[in-house]
Amino acid sequence: MSALAPLIAERIRERGPITIAEYMAICLGHATHGYYMKQVPFGREGDFTTAPEISQVFGELIGLHLADVWLRAGAPNPVQLVELGPGRGTLMADILRATKGVPGFHAALSVTFVEMSPVLRAEQKARVPHARWADRLADIPSGQPLLLVANEFFDALPARQLIKTARGWQERHVALEDERFIPVVPEDAPLLDALVPAALQGAPEGSFYELLGGEEDAAVLNQRLSQDGGAALIIDYGHAKHSLGDTLQAMRQHAYADPFTAPGDADLTVHVDFEQIIERAGKALRVLGPVGQGRFLRALGLDIRTAVLAKANPPKAEALVVASRRLADSEQMGALFKVLSLSSPAWPAPAGLDS
C-alpha cells in the first residue's frame, strides 16, 4: 500500500467521496507523499521521459524562438523569463546555453521557476544556479515584459472529470469500497451542464468531458501579457479542440498503471484541451497554433541543428538523429504533442507557428 492511501481513505471516510481534481491534487502535490514532492520522476530510472530529457535540441530551439521574438520586439531590458513546472531544469539550461551569444539577452534576463516541489527545486538549482523560485505565477511581480515556457505542466494540474448520466453532466468522484479506491458519480452530485460546451452537451450517456486545471495561471498570464508585453509557449500532449473522452492516466516505470491504485506512487495526468486554454486567454492576446510539436521544431531548424551536432560528434550522430525523430515524427511525439503560442498583440508574431 502506498503511504498516501490511508490518508486519502481517512478523508473519504470522514467527508465522503472526493472529486478527481482533489484526488489528483493530493496524489501529485501532498506535502510529503505527493508524487512530485518526494522524488525525481523523470528519466530512464524514473517513470517517464520528457522532451528536454530526450534531446538538447528541444531546449535550444525554444531558446532561439524566445530570443528571436525578444530581439524583434526591440530587445526590451529588463525582461522576465519564467518557466512553469521546470522538472529537472534541463529545458532552461538548454535555453540559456543556446542564447548565450544573443547580444544583450542574458544581461536583460532574470529567470524565475514556478515549482511546487522542493526536491525538483534542488535539481533546478543544480542546473540554473542564479534562478529565482515562486510558488505560483501570480507571485511573480508584474511590470516587466514576460517570456514564458511551460512543457508538460498543464497536463499535471488537477483536472475535473464530468460524466454524462441519465440526469445530466455530473462530476466524477473517488470513493472507498472494501478499502479500495473506485471512481463513482454520486447520485446527488450537482448538475454541471453549463460547464460543457454546447456542441458536446447532447453526448450519449457515459461520455466524459474534462476540465483542465490552471485557471488562475491562465488569468494571470492573460493579464501580464496584455499589460506588460511578452510571449508564452505552452507545450503539451492533448487535443486542439474540445473533445469527449476519459484521458486520466497513470504512468509508472514507463508503463500505464491504474490511476486508483497506489496513489502518490505514479504520475497522474490528463490530455490537455488546448481550446480551453485559448478560451481562457480571451480576446486580448495573439493566439498562434496549436501546431504539432514536429512541425514547430522542424520550422525552427530541428534537422539542421541535429545535423550540425551529429557532424561535430560522430559517435553520437545516430543517437542524435533518433532523438530528433522521436520528438518530431508524427507517429512518435510530433503530432500528439502540440505547441500553443500566446503573445501580446503589441509584440511581433513569434516564429514557427505559421499555419
Asked if 50 interacts with ligand SAH (CB under 6 A), we say yes
Distance (Å) of CA 229 to CA 72, 147, 222, 270 = 13, 9, 10, 30
Q: Which residue has the cell 490511508?
A: 6
Q: State in angstroms the smallest separation of the CB of 52 from ligand SAH.
A: 5
Asked if 42 interacts with ligand SAH (CB under 6 A), we say yes
Q: Please, which residue, 129 or 204, has the CB nearer to ligand SAH?
A: 129
- Please give the DSSP secondary-structure letter assigned to residue 256: E
Distance (Å) of CA 152 to CA 39, 40, 61, 133 = 17, 15, 17, 18
Residues 107 and 145: their CA atoms lie apart, in Å, by 14
Q: Is the CB of residue 217 less than 8 Å from the CB of residue 136? A: yes
Q: Please, which residue, 46 or 348, has the CB nearer to ligand SAH?
A: 46
Q: State in angstroms the smallest separation of the CB of 29 from ligand SAH.
A: 6
DSSP helix/strand/coil, 22: helix
DSSP helix/strand/coil, 250: strand
Asked if 169 interacts with ligand SAH (CB under 6 A), we say no
Distance (Å) of CA 121 to CA 5, 36, 62, 88 = 26, 11, 21, 8
Spell out, one character per residue from 205 to 244, where the chain touches ligand SAH: x when CB under 6 A holds, - when not: ----------------------------------------
Amino acid at 88: R
Question: Positive or negative, the Cα torsion across 306, 308, 309, 310?
Answer: positive
Q: Please, which residue, 171 or 217, has the CB nearer to ligand SAH?
A: 217
CA–chain centroid gap for 5, Å, is 26
Q: Please, which residue, 55 or 117, has the CB nearer to ligand SAH?
A: 117
Residue nearest to ligand SAH (CB): 85
Q: State in angstroms the smallest separation of the CB of 235 from ligand SAH.
A: 8
Q: State in angstroms the smallest separation of the CB of 222 from ligand SAH.
A: 18
Asked if 63 interacts with ligand SAH (CB under 6 A), we say no
Residues 245 and 163: their CA atoms lie apart, in Å, by 9
Q: State in angstroms the smallest separation of the CB of 293 from ligand SAH.
A: 12
Q: How many residues bind ligand SAH (CB under 6 A)?
A: 19
Considering only 17, 52, 230, 290, the residue that binds ligand SAH (CB under 6 A) is: 52
Q: Please, which residue, 39 or 201, has the CB nearer to ligand SAH?
A: 39
Non-local (6+) Cβ contacts of 174 within 8 A are 8, 12, 17, 18, 19, 20, 22, 23, 181, 182, 183, 184, 260
The number of CA neighbours under 13 Å toward the Cβ of 78 is: 9
Q: Please, which residue, 136 or 311, has the CB nearer to ligand SAH?
A: 136
Stretch binding ligand SAH (CB under 6 A), from 49-57, 140-148, 277-285, 316-324: 49-57
Q: State in angstroms the smallest separation of the CB of 155 from ligand SAH.
A: 8
Spell out, one character per residue from 69 to 88, where the chain touches ligand SAH: x when CB under 6 A holds, - when not: ----------------xxx-
- Region 98-157 residues binding ligand SAH, contact defined as CB under 6 A: 114-117, 120, 151-153, 156-157
Q: Applying CB under 6 A, which residues contact ligand SAH?
A: 36, 42, 50, 52-53, 85-87, 91, 114-117, 120, 151-153, 156-157
